[in-house]
Amino acid sequence: MSLRVGAIGFEPTTSCSQSKRASRTAPRPDEMNWTSIMRRMSTRQAIHITICVALLAVLSACLPSNTISPTPAGTTPTVPATQPPTLIPDTPTAAPLICLTEPGLVKQDVVPTTKPPQAFIIYLPPCYESLAGERFPVLYLLHGQTYNQDQWVRLGAPVIADRLIHAKESLPFIMVFPDDRYWNSAAGPGFGNRFINDLIPYVDQNYRTIADREHRALGGLSRGGGWTMQLGLEHPELFGTLGLHSPAIFKDNAPYLENIIQAMATETRPNLWLDVGDSDMELARSLLLEDILTRNDYPHEFYRFAGDHTEVYWSAHTETYLRWYTQSWQEAPAAQ
């Protein structure tokens, strides 16, 4: 693009010969008076202007092709690509984004009305306090026999949940880790009764859960997996998703579970995951359960991973579990 000079409509002189002819028209010295001096000065100025214009015209042909021309009136100038972006001031809507970089809260709680009092650990996601008007899906995770409610915490569930939420790979969600330490004692009503009749209502009343089956999931490992299978099939109105991780299910229970499955309406069957290690002592029973599910056309996901019946195995797959639990919530977020 050529460089524009002078006023609009001005046609500059373009050849040296024209400038020389203009100089020969000047009056001789003995004919000069004040008027002629003024005329001569005007002629010299014209010559100088003509020479400058000619030089500029020549120089313009040598200018780089990316020379920026003055912007004509009424047009918007182009911003150079190297110009830094304009900083946008903080707005009130930016506040939740800040807390979404912080860890969630893990704390102890107890249902005081049961006998014994039903203890549990609860994980509240990042921004739980800041987003006071929001409700969240909830995942109940049951521990194995001889362990207590901190097992899933030690396996890394809260840390993994933080990471998924921070990366926006999961909606924020609540996790509840109930204590089933009384599995071998007769103290008060059994865990199943406390869990269904007391713990779930207490959590829904005291924490901002989305209290419907589509946004309530139940999972467990070993003995907790056995509880998940029993309670999940007995109460399909409460849970939309069930996760069985190396579940401890006795062979004698197989006919009972099959009868429950056959009695369930197809549309009420929760989503179901089953996994077990290829060296797990519960492998044969898990394969029997998988056969029952397949034989009765119960849609499910079955995985046989490498490993045995240990926390090393479960911790290696905890992130996979959490991603699966939260997948349905991510695909169909609740209307708030």
| Structural domain includes residue 68 | no
Is residue 10 a part of any domain in this protein? no
270 and 175 co-located in one domain = yes
Dist. CA 252–CA 140, nearest whole Å: 26
What mean pLDDT, rounded, does the chain reach? 76
Are 303 and 286 in contact by the 8 Å Cβ rule? The answer is no
Classify residue 77: in a domain, yes or no: no
Instruction: Say if 90 falls within a structural domain.
Output: no
User: Cα(111)–Cα(94) distance, rounded to whole angstroms?
Assistant: 36
Q: Do 201 and 256 fall into the same domain?
A: yes
- Band of residue 269 on the pLDDT scale cut at 50, 70, 90: very high
| Domain contains 33 | yes
Mean pLDDT of 134-158: 95
pLDDT at 188: 53
Task: In whole angstroms, give the CA distance from residue 244 to residue 272.
Answer: 8
Q: What is the pLDDT of residue 115?
A: 87
Whether 123 maps to a domain, the answer reads yes
CB 141 within 8 A of CB 157: yes
Indicate if the pLDDT at residue 73 is higher than 60: no
Listed range (71-85, 122-136, 153-167) with the worst mean pLDDT: 71-85
The CA distance from 129 to 143, in Å, is 27
Q: Are both 252 and 111 inside the same structural domain?
A: yes
Q: Are residues 47 and 180 in the same domain?
A: no
pLDDT band for position 160 (cuts 50, 70, 90):
very high
Q: In what order do the strands lie in the sheet with 216-221?
A: 105-111, 118-124, 174-178, 138-142, 216-221, 241-245, 271-277, 301-305
Count of residues making up the chain = 336
Q: Which domain holds residue 31?
A: 16-62
Report the range of poorest mean pLDDT among 17-21, 83-87, 102-106, 108-112.
Answer: 83-87
Residue 85 lies in a domain: no
User: Comparing 319 with 330, which gets the higher pLDDT?
Assistant: 319
Residue 303 near residue 274 (C-beta atoms within 8 A) = yes
Same structural domain, 226 and 316? yes
What 8-state DSSP symbol labels residue 199? I
Number of folded domains that form the chain:
2
- Say if residue 105 is in the same domain as residue 215: yes
What CATH number does residue 293 fall under? 3.40.50.1820
Confidence label for 61 from pLDDT (cuts 50, 70 and 90): very low
pLDDT-derived band of residue 186, with 50, 70 and 90 as boundaries?
A: low
Q: Is the pLDDT of residue 56 over 60?
A: no
Assign 332 a pLDDT band (cuts: 50, 70, 90).
Answer: low
Do 277 and 189 lie in one domain? The reply is yes
The reported pLDDT for the residue numbered 87 is 28
* pLDDT cut 70: percent of the chain above it: 67
Check: pTM over 0.75? Answer yes or no: no
**At 185, is the pLDDT very low, low, confident or very high (cuts 50, 70, 90)?**
low
Range in 153-162, 168-177, 188-197, 260-269 the model is least confident about: 188-197
Closest CA to 57 of 19, 9, 1, 5: 5
More confidently predicted of 182 and 325: 325
Same structural domain, 137 and 249 = yes
Token pair belonging to 23: 């100089």
Residues 281 and 137 in one domain: yes
What tokens appear for 32 in the block? 């000069």
Kindly state whether residues 112 and 58 are assigned to the same domain: no
pLDDT at 262 exceeding the cut of 50 = yes
Is 265 in the same domain as 128? yes
Residue 89 lies in a domain: no
